[in-house]
């Protein structure tokens, strides 16, 4: 049984795709598949992923004939996903090793059909400390949000322009997902209007990982 299908759209990601794949492969929840959709890259992305797939049968490589953008690439991966849940990961991001397990446990506990988490913003130069995208003052206890409230929070304010729920990468129960939910220009369409969201407290940053369990939607 495959619990989670992790879908990774990739375009010219030869410098970062191995890190993303390794973070998915190192998940404590092992019942998963990793679907990389190469969005017509012109670098060595496909060759690198093919090499990683030879080491781990959970990795699948799909190639788009023309560049169609990340939404179309996600849709292609979701169309062949076999897991109970759909997980989203960008080719230049990485998961905390306990991320998927933590989110699944939380989803089971509250009966959620959509779960997401805060993002730890990492300084590529290493000169500045990593910081959570959503400050602890805005996310300090479980809080239920309607779909309308969630969508409204996809727009950053002038005071905190980077705090947008549109950057989050949710886990979605496959039975509640519709393939048309990712429009080409705006991933906010991925939310069903019947969904709600819960926010849980952020975890302390550890080891430079770029995602911490933090938000749950149902």
The number of folded domains in the chain is: 1
pLDDT at 158 (0 to 100): 60
* pTM strictly above 0.85: no
Could you tell me the CATH number of the domain that includes residue 139? 3.90.550.10
pLDDT at 137 (0 to 100): 77
- Contacts of 183-191 with CB under 8 Å at 24 or more apart are 183/71, 184/69, 184/71, 184/72, 185/71, 187/71, 188/151, 188/154, 191/114, 191/147, 191/150, 191/151, 191/217
pLDDT at 204 (0 to 100): 31
pLDDT at 9 (0 to 100): 97
Q: Which helix (H) or strand (E) holds 51?
A: helix 45-55
pLDDT at 157 (0 to 100): 62
Backbone angles phi and psi of 97, in degrees to 5: -55, -25
pLDDT at 69 (0 to 100): 96
Consecutive 10-residue runs of the chain (218 residues): their mean pLDDT? 97 97 97 98 98 97 97 94 96 94 90 82 79 77 68 67 74 73 40 33 31 33
pLDDT at 84 (0 to 100): 96
Domain extent at residue 115: 4-217
Pairing outcome for strands 131-132 and 114-121: antiparallel
CB atoms within 10 A of CB 25: 17
């Amino acid at each position: 049984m495959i619990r989670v299908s992790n879908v990774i759209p990739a375009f010219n990601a030869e410098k970062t795709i191995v890190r993303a794949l390794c973070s998915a492969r190192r998940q404590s929840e092992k019942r998963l598949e990793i679907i990389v959709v190469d969005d017509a890259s012109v670098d060595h992305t496909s060759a690198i992923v093919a090499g990683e797939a030879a080491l781990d049968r959970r990795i699948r490589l799909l190639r788009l004939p023309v560049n169609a953008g990340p939404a179309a690439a996600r849709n292609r991966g979701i169309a062949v996903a076999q897991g109970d849940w759909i997980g989203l990961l960008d080719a230049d991001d990485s998961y905390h090793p306990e991320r998927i397990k933590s989110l699944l446990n939380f989803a089971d506990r509250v009966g959620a059909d959509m779960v997401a988490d805060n993002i730890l913003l990492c300084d590529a130069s290493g000169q500045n400390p990593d910081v959570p995208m959503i400050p602890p003052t805005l996310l300090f206890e479980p809080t239920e949000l309607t779909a309308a409230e969630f969508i409204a929070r996809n727009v950053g304010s002038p005071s905190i322009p980077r705090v947008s729920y549109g950057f989050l990468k949710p886990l979605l129960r496959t039975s509640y997902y519709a393939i048309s939910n990712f429009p080409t220009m705006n991933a906010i369409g991925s939310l069903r209007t019947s969904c709600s969201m819960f926010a849980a407290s952020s975890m302390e940053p550890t080891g430079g990982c770029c995602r911490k369990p933090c938000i749950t939607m149902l």
